[in-house]
Structures are given as structure tokens and as C-alpha cells.
């Protein structure tokens, strides 16, 4: 099986024995859980589109291992063209789901590991890359969804891992055995974790020798013994439990995050890709972060949805011809395309690493993500400006259906001739969903903190710009000689 | 009747509805051309439908075939004529 269909993907998830908790209870049927299900639908779409001729050019690639056609989410980038297509795939999926489709994080983890395992081997004579490539072949052949797990809870942010009062605040090795290692800790904010077949763990920060037992990377089946998932809440999440679908906003798709706990979990050696090589932890973090910062092209896709919704609600409200509304929508588009520009640019300017994998231009990837921490908020603000206050004061779908008050609502919320009040409600709920409901988790706060908070990018930008070159250029133009 | 392979770009930000374009094209060429999968060995020509001028669809596999590129709605009539000509050419 080189590529699963959507149905095969869903069936494969049903075979997993995940330990998932939500609202204090164990979730017995994860796939059909009404709160989790929309997020599964979004991942499922990544499988379905790979089989559709009008999307397959972005959704598939040719494996550099097997030569087979594979889902691009399992691909290791072999050119800048691959990197650009990854960016475009993200935008496409964002625009078709209106949410986080969760599968990019595993792709980014695998690409980063393809580089770093090779580099470790070159320096230390280990065999991590060989192990990793064997694992990658397994992922590609079975078309698996992988969670890329980097973010530790981190405890006291002022302390390195080995000085934390609770040593489990960063995931670490607690036992070394003949056939593998035992790890303990947790990974927070894990997007798409319970829709994944595999979980790929990486360290979360650069480390020194004293933190060696925390410098560990490995992959495990998502239902390995000792792994537990605790679902994060999302604003308005329980609307998914209601009978009607209008108040959900996005009636088809969604995202999810979970805290993943590793309670003394055994990892066989063949799935360990870094073990105490602390000096490579920082490189793995930076490479993964750069890939993942590129991945935020998806927000331009979600932005497409929000801009489309905003234009539509302006038309429904009879306000679309107002000059300030037109100008605000131009601004939304300007910001949205700027997000796309950053992701395309870092892909085009990427380069080949010693392993053969292509890595994005890391400076431009950080610039891209820095914009992502800001622009979706402004786009959302403009959307709310144009949508009007009704977006947050609109009565429920049940009230519109009420025999007692429904007629009043339909009468008083009528706008232009020929505009359906229900359609107007649907569009308002979609804008609400993206800007402050369940999808705002992905579109706003994830844009802020996902793949690293804003300051992380600013540090990387300051490190990577060639300031001396800029100073030299300035000095030359105003007649200052270097020796002065 | 000639067989022409059909290949789309991935459609990240198409400027027009590529699938609708092909649907309308199929109607116009129905008597002369059958659009088939791009890897169909019967197809010596490939129609590549792209959503914008970047035309990023992978065409390397078609280097031994004749590629016809459509990148905008306005290409519909021209493309229909071109593809029908292939059939007429076969008949003469």
C-alpha cells in the first residue's frame, strides 16, 4: 500500500488502541467522538485529495527511497520545487478545511531528522540515519500520519532541564536496556495527536552536557503502552455536541490538541534517532522549527476562507459597496498574500543539506512565521469589523427554529431582499468560528505560539542576518573607510 | 477519436475553476477527443490545466509527449480547436 484512501485511513485509526481522556473520562470511540471527529475529517482529507487528479500534483510526490508515488506528507524534500509544493499544499488544505489539518508537523519532524541523523552519523560514526531511513520507508509504504512531538511542559522557564525541581518537566531517558530505552515525560499542545498512527519525539531546546539524558529523539506507535492523551479544550467546543450544525460555523472540519504523557514508555533501539547527543539537540530544534515555520502557509489558506466569508457577509449586509469595506478587504488580502509570500520565499531560497534533503532558507522561514504571529490577528479584526456585532450576539440555531420566537428572529435579522437569513447566520457563525471559536485556536493562538512564540523567531532573525554586510554597505556609501 | 492525457496542477490558488474548465472543454470536444489519465499509454498528447501562470504542474514525465497548456478560462476555445485538430489530423 503506497497511498491510503480516506476510508482506509479512517479504518486504520479504528484499529489503534489509544488511551484518550476528555472531560475527565476515557474516550472509548475516538474516531466517532463528536468533538474529535471534525479533526479526523481534516486529516482524512489529506488522504482523499491525494487520489483526486485536480489536487494530486501537490498532494503526492515520488519517494526518493522507493521511487513510488507517495503522499507528500511522508516525503523528504528533494528540491526547492518540493519545498514550494509543500507551501502550496498547505495553502490548499487550509482553504479547503478552514482549520489546522494537523499532518504537517510529522512531515516537518521527518525532514528535520533526515538531516540531523545524517549529521550525527558523520561526526560520531553512529547509525541513526540508517535507522531513520528504515523507519521512513515504513511510514511511506504504509502512508502513516505522524505526530511531531517537540514541546515539553518546561516547568520553570528559567531553569534548564536537569535543574528542574521535577525532572519530568522535559521528556527524558529513565532507563537504558539492552534492547532499548525507557522514557518519561510529556509533550504539550500536540496537534492532531489522536489522529496519528505514530508519534515522533524530539527535544524542545538546545542542550548542554548536563542535559544529555534529555537529548533524545525517537518514534513510537501512537498506541504504545504507557502513552496517554488528554484532550485540550477549545472555545465553543461543546457546540459540536448540539444537534444543529449551524452554530458550529465550520460544519465539516476542525483541529485538536492534546497533552501526551509518556509514563515509562519503552522505545526499541531501532526507533531511537538521537540518544544523549546533546550537541545536536539545538540543530534538530532549529531545523524542525524552520520547516514548521514554513508550514504556516496553511494560515493563508484559512485566511482565504475568512476573506471569502467577510466579502460574503458584507454582501449579505448590503455593505459591500461601501468604500471603507472594500478597502478593508483589500487590506485583508494584502496581509494574507504577504503570509504566502514568506512561505514561498523561504522555500525558493532553500538549499541542499549534506544528507541530500532540502532545507528552507531559515532566515526567511523565521520572517515568514513572525508575520504569521501578527497578520491573522489583523485579518480577524477586520473580519469582525465588517461582520458586525451580530456575530457574537446572534441567538442559537434552536431559537431560530422555535415556534415561539423563531419568527421574530427571522423578521428582525432579515437584511437585503433575496438574502436568506439562515445563510447569513451560517456565514456569521463561520467568521465567529475562525476568529474566536474552535478554529481560532489554530488561526490565532497557534499562529502566535505554534512552531515557536514570536520571540523565538526574533532571536533567530537576529542571529541569521548578516549585519556586518549591511554595515559595510552603509559605510561604503557615506565614505567611511573600514580601517577607520 | 484521439486519446489525450489530462494533468492538473495542484490548485493552491487557482484564478479560475479548473475542473469546470475541463468539464466545458469535454463537451466541446466530445466527438473527437477522449480525455484520459495522463499516464494512459494511448495518449500521445497531454492537456495540462494549471490554475495560474506559474504553471507549476509536474510535466517532466511527459517530455516524450506533446503538451498543451491551459492556464486561463480564455484558453477554452483555443484549446478545443487545438484538440479537435488532433482528431482531424488523424483522419486525414
A62, closest residue in chain B (CA to CA): B58
A118 part of the active site: no
B54 touches chain A (CB under 8 A): no
Which residues of chain B have a CB within 8 Å of the CB of A91?
12-13
List CB contacts of A320: < 8 A, sequence separation 6 or more: A311, A314, A326
Catalytic residue, chosen from A10, A198, A213, A257, is A257
B19 touches chain A (CB under 8 A): yes
Which residues of chain A have a CB within 8 Å of the CB of B56?
57, 81, 84-85, 88
Residue B46 burial (CB < 10 Å; 0-12/13-18/19+)? buried
Q: CB distance A58–B11 less than 8 Å?
A: yes
List CB contacts of A476: < 8 A, sequence separation 6 or more: none
Residue A82 C-alpha, separation from nearest chain B C-alpha, in angstroms:
11
CA nearest to A196, candidates A419, A394, A18, A383: A18
CA nearest to A378, candidates A339, A340, A345: A339
Domain interval for residue A349:
293-464
> d(Cα A401, Cα A369) in Å, to the nearest integer?
43
Q: What is the pLDDT of residues A254-274, one digit of tens each?
A: 999 999 999 999 999 999 999
Residues linked to residue A183 through DSSP beta bridges, in sequence order: A173, A265
Which residues of chain B have a CB within 8 Å of the CB of A340?
13
* Predicted confidence (pLDDT) at residue B91 exceeds the cutoff of 60: no
Residues linked to residue A53 through DSSP beta bridges, in sequence order: none
A256 part of the active site: no
B32 touches chain A (CB under 8 A): no
Task: Indicate the number of domains in chain A.
Answer: 1
Which residues of chain B have a CB within 8 Å of the CB of A88?
10, 12-13, 56
Cα R_g (chain A), whole angstroms:
24
* Predicted confidence (pLDDT) at residue A484 exceeds the cutoff of 90: no
List CB contacts of A412: < 8 A, sequence separation 6 or more: none
Report pLDDT for A434.
Answer: 98
* Predicted confidence (pLDDT) at residue B90 exceeds the cutoff of 70: no
Instruction: Check if the beta carbon of residue A135 is closer than 8 Å to that of residue A106.
Output: no
A-B Cβ pairs (cutoff 8 Å, strict): 43
Catalytic residue, chosen from A46, A74, A191, A435, is A191
Query: pLDDT grade, residue A483 (50/70/90)?
Result: low
DSSP state of A223: T
> d(Cα A457, Cα A336) in Å, to the nearest integer?
19
Share the mean pLDDT of chain B. Answer: 94
Which residues of chain B have a CB within 8 Å of the CB of A304?
13
> d(Cα A36, Cα A257) in Å, to the nearest integer?
10
Which residues of chain A have a CB within 8 Å of the CB of B58?
57
A316 part of the active site: no
Q: CB distance B12–A58 less than 8 Å?
A: yes
Does A191 reside within a domain?
Answer: no
Mean pLDDT score, A393-405: 97
B92 touches chain A (CB under 8 A): no
Which of A55, A304, A340 is closest, CB to CB, to B10? Answer: A55
Q: CB distance B57–A92 less than 8 Å?
A: no
List CB contacts of A263: < 8 A, sequence separation 6 or more: A184, A226, A227, A228
Does A30 reside within a domain?
Answer: no
Q: CB distance B56–A88 less than 8 Å?
A: yes
Report pLDDT for A2.
Answer: 83
Report pLDDT for B88.
Answer: 77
Report pLDDT for A482.
Answer: 72
Q: CB distance B58–A57 less than 8 Å?
A: yes
Share the mean pLDDT of chain A. Answer: 97
B6 touches chain A (CB under 8 A): yes
Which of B11, B37, B56 is closest, CB to CB, to A54? Answer: B11
Which of A54, A81, A91 is closest, CB to CB, to B13? Answer: A91
Mean pLDDT score, A430-440: 98
Q: What is the CATH number of the domain that holds A358?
A: 1.20.140.10
- The annotation status of A191 as a binding-site residue, yes or no, is yes
Does A270 reside within a domain?
Answer: no
- Does the ipTM surpass 0.90? yes
Instruction: Check if the beta carbon of residue A383 is closer than 8 Å to that of residue A431.
Output: yes
Does A331 reside within a domain?
Answer: yes
Q: What is the pLDDT of residues A338-383, one digit of tens each?
A: 999 999 999 999 999 999 999 999 999 999 999 999 999 999 999 9
Residue B52 C-alpha, separation from nearest chain A C-alpha, in angstroms:
13
Residues linked to residue A181 through DSSP beta bridges, in sequence order: A176, A267
Percentage of the residues of chain A whose pLDDT score is greater than 70: 99
B43 touches chain A (CB under 8 A): no
List CB contacts of A419: < 8 A, sequence separation 6 or more: A316
Centre a 10 Å sphere on the Cβ of residue A330 and count the other Cβ atoms it contains. 11
Domain locations along chain B: 2-91
Does A376 reside within a domain?
Answer: yes
A292 part of the active site: yes
* Predicted confidence (pLDDT) at residue A94 exceeds the cutoff of 60: yes
Does A133 reside within a domain?
Answer: no
Q: CB distance B10–A85 less than 8 Å?
A: yes
CATH architecture of B2-91: 3-Layer(aba) Sandwich (3.40)
Residue B75 C-alpha, separation from nearest chain A C-alpha, in angstroms:
18
Please state the pTM of the whole predicted model: 0.96
Percentage of the residues of chain A whose pLDDT score is greater than 90: 99
Mean pLDDT score, B54-68: 94
* Predicted confidence (pLDDT) at residue A101 exceeds the cutoff of 90: yes
Amino acid at each position: 500500500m503506497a497511498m491510503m484512501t480516506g476510508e482506509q485511513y479512517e479504518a486504520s485509526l479504528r484499529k489503534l488502541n489509544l488511551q484518550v481522556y476528555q472531560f475527565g473520562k476515557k474516550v472509548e470511540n475516538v474516531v466517532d467522538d463528536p468533538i474529535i471527529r471534525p479533526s479526523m475529517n481534516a486529516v482524512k482529507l489529506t488522504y482523499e485529495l491525494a487520489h483526486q487528479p485536480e489536487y494530486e500534483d501537490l498532494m503526492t510526490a515520488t519517494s526518493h527511497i522507493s521511487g513510488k508515488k507517495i503522499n507528500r506528507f511522508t516525503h523528504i524534500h528533494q528540491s526547492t520545487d518540493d519545498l514550494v509544493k509543500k507551501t502550496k499544499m498547505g495553502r490548499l488544505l487550509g482553504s479547503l478545511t478552514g482549520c489546522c489539518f494537523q499532518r504537517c508537523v510529522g512531515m516537518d519532524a521527518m525532514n528535520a531528522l533526515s538531516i540531523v541523523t545524517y549529521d550525527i552519523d558523520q561526526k560520531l560514526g553512529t547509525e541513526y540515519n540508517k535507522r531513520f531511513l528504515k523507519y521512513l520507508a515504513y511510514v511511506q509504504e504504509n502512508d502513516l500520519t505522524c505526530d511531531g512531538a517537540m514541546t515539553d511542559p518546561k516547568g520553570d522557564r528559567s531553569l534548564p532541564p536537569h535543574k528542574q525541581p521535577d525532572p519530568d518537566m522535559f521528556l527524558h531517558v529513565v532507563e537504558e536496556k539492552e534492547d532499548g530505552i525507557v522514557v518519561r515525560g510529556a509533550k504539550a499542545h500536540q496537534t492532531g495527536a489522536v489522529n496519528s498512527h505514530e508519534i515522533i519525539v524530539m527535544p524542545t531546546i538546545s542542550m548542554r552536557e548536563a542535559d544529555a539524558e534529555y537529548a533524545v529523539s525517537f518514534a513510537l506507535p501512537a498506541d504504545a503502552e504507557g502513552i496517554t492523551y488528554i484532550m485540550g479544550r477549545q472555545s465553543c467546543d461543546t457546540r459540536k455536541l448540539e444537534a444543529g450544525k449551524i452554530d458550529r460555523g465550520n460544519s465539516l472540519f476542525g483541529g485538536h490538541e492534546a497533552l501526551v504523557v509518556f509514563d515509562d514508555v519503552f522505545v526499541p533501539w531501532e526507533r531511537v534517532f538521537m540518544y544523549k547527543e546533546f550537541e545536536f539537540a539545538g540543530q534538530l530544534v532549529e531545523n524542525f522549527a524552520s520547516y514548521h515555520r514554513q508550514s504556516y502557509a496553511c494560515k493563508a489558506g484559512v485566511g482565504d476562507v475568512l476573506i471569502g466569508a467577510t466579502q460574503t457577509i458584507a454582501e449579505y449586509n448590503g455593505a459591500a459597496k461601501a468604500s471603507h469595506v472594500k478597502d478593508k478587504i483589500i487590506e485583508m488580502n494584502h496581509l494574507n498574500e504577504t503570509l504566502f509570500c514568506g512561505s514561498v520565499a523561504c522555500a525558493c531560497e532553500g538549499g541542499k543539506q549534506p544528507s541530500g534533503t532540502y532545507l528552507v532558507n531559515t532566515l526567511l522561514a523565521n520572517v515568514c512565521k513572525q508575520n504569521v504571529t501578527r497578520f491573522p490577528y489583523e485579518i480577524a479584526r477586520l473580519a469582525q469589523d465588517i461582520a458586525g456585532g451580530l456575530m457574537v450576539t446572534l441567538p442559537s440555531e434552536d431559537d431560530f427554529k422555535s415556534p415561539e420566537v423563531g419568527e421574530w428572529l427571522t423578521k428582525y435579522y432579515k437584511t437585503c431582499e433575496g438574502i436568506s437569513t439562515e445563510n447569513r447566520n451560517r456565514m456569521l457563525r463561520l467568521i465567529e468560528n475562525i476568529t474566536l471559536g474552535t478554529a481560532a485556536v489554530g488561526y490565532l493562538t497557534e499562529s502566535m505560539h505554534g512552531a515557536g512564540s514570536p520571540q523565538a523567531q526574533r532571536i533567530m532573525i537576529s542571529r541569521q542576518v548578516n549585519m556586518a554586510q549591511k554595515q559595510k554597505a552603509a559605510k561604503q556609501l557615506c565614505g567611511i573607510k573600514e580601517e577607520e | 477519436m484521439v486519446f489525450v492525457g489530462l494533468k492538473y496542477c495542484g490548485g493552491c490558488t487557482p484564478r479560475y475553476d479548473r475542473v469546470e474548465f475541463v468539464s466545458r472543454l469535454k463537451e466541446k470536444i466530445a466527438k473527437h477527443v477522449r480525455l484520459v489519465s495522463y499516464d494512459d499509454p494511448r495518449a500521445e498528447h497531454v492537456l495540462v490545466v494549471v490554475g495560474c501562470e506559474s504553471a507549476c504542474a509536474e510535466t517532466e514525465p511527459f517530455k516524450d509527449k506533446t503538451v498543451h497548456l491551459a492556464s486561463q478560462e480564455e484558453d477554452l476555445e483555443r484549446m478545443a480547436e487545438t484538440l479537435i485538430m488532433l482528431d482531424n489530423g488523424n483522419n486525414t
